[in-house]
């Protein structure tokens, strides 16, 4: 084993594994959300973000939090508005922006979905002991940190 070949391959394997787990879990969540609540993961994500920010979020803040494009959020919010789950309100003193918030109905729907969502995750990751979960989460967090600052080493 070369002192140089191994690390790269090991990291590639790690990445492929990460991808596999994530896709698998995402797929299950997607299916459950569809069959049990007639909704989708992106919609759940948007509602989750709005639930954490009860004072509302601007479209750009929403796309920032979710790490998706601006135009993407427009479409998802449009549909949620049609169904009366969220509302677009005016921003005091800035007619360009608007503040998106959950409606009462949106809050109620989300509460139910979030409870189930947590249970599904718990079930899917059941083989993972709590302390090991924490451990893994920390390592992954370190990775996220490193990725956040691409070239801050100026």
What are the C-alpha distances in Å from 120 to residues 30, 36, 66, 107? 11, 12, 21, 20
- Choose among DNA, its own copies, none what residue 84 binds, the Cβ cut-off being 5 to 8 Å by kind: none
Verify binding: residue 48, DNA, rule CB under 7 A.
no
90 binds, among its own copies, DNA, none (CB under 5 to 8 A by kind): none
21 binds, among its own copies, DNA, none (CB under 5 to 8 A by kind): its own copies
Q: Does residue 95 bind DNA (CB under 7 A)?
A: yes
Contacts of 58 (CB under 8 A, 6+ apart): 91, 97, 98, 99, 100
Contact residues toward DNA (CB under 7 A) are 27, 30-31, 34, 40-43, 58-61, 67-77, 79, 88, 91, 93-98
């Amino acid at each position: 084993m070369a002192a140089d070949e191994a690390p790269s391959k090991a990291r590639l394997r790690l990445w492929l594994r990460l991808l596999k787990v994530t896709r698998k879990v995402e797929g299950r969540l997607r299916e459950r959300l569809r069959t049990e609540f007639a909704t989708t993961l992106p919609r759940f994500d948007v509602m989750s973000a709005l639930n954490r920010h009860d004072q509302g979020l601007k479209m750009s803040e929403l796309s920032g939090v979710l790490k998706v494009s601006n135009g993407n959020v427009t479409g998802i919010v449009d549909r949620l508005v049609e169904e009366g789950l969220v509302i677009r309100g005016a921003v005091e003193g800035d007619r360009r922006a608007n503040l998106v918030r959950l409606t009462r109905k949106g809050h109620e729907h989300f509460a139910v979905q979030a409870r189930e969502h947590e249970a599904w995750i718990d079930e899917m990751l059941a083989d993972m002991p709590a302390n090991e979960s924490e451990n893994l989460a920390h390592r992954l967090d370190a990775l996220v940190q490193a990725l956040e600052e691409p070239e801050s080493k100026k």
